[in-house]
Amino acid sequence: MAQWNETEMLQRLQNADTQREAFAQVVRTYSERMYWVVRRVVLSHDDANDVLQNVFIKAWTNIESFKGDAKLSTWLYKIAVNESITFINRQRMHPSTSIDDADSGLLSKLESDEYFDGDELQRNFQRALLTLPEKQRLVFNMKYFDEMKYEDISAILGTSVGALKASYHHAVQKIRAFLEQTD
């Protein structure tokens, strides 16, 4: 959680003399939170590490365009979500990869990931999550794991609260159905 005044931080980020030091503080404060946003989408640690670096490099490159209209955390969340989706889509766009192959690719990477120590039930749960459409999976992750308010998710994804509630409800139903089938 940020321990600073947003206005003061924005001023430091926009000032060439204090920009780098202020950004280090941003990385220190938000890297763990953003890591879990990314990791739950791309699943393997190595991929999450690469994507997380891109998130902060992109934030650094575009810091001048951040005017403080939204909270810094919301802005970073947006970049993290976009970079994660771009990473997944890039894998899917590979000529020899179908959507199912890409999802099973994510799963096989997860299974060989030394930084995943889930049991068979946990693996099956991840399989169930991968059956969800991308945006539904994001909504589910933010609500279920991060326990975010719908209003905050709405600010990040640009979707109405009503639509998010419906999306989360459908996601839970699909996951339950998948787990019942594979029980």
Residues near other proteins, by CB under 8 A = 14-16, 19-20, 23-24, 27-28, 31-32, 35-36, 39-40, 45, 49, 52-53, 56-57, 60-61, 64, 115-119, 121-122, 125, 144-145, 172, 175-176, 179-180, 183
Q: Which is nearer to other proteins, 53 or 108 (CB)?
A: 53
**Cβ burial, residue 27 (10 Å; 0-12/13-18/19+):** middle
CB of 44 to other proteins, least distance (A): 9
Distant-in-sequence, close-in-space partners of 45: CB < 8 Å, separation ≥ 6? 39, 113, 114, 115, 116
CB of 110 to other proteins, least distance (A): 9
Comparing CA positions, the residue from 145, 13, 142 lying closest to residue 78 is 142
CB of 42 to other proteins, least distance (A): 11
Distances (CA, A) of 46 to 53, 126, 181: 11, 17, 31
Q: Which is nearer to other proteins, 6 or 111 (CB)?
A: 111
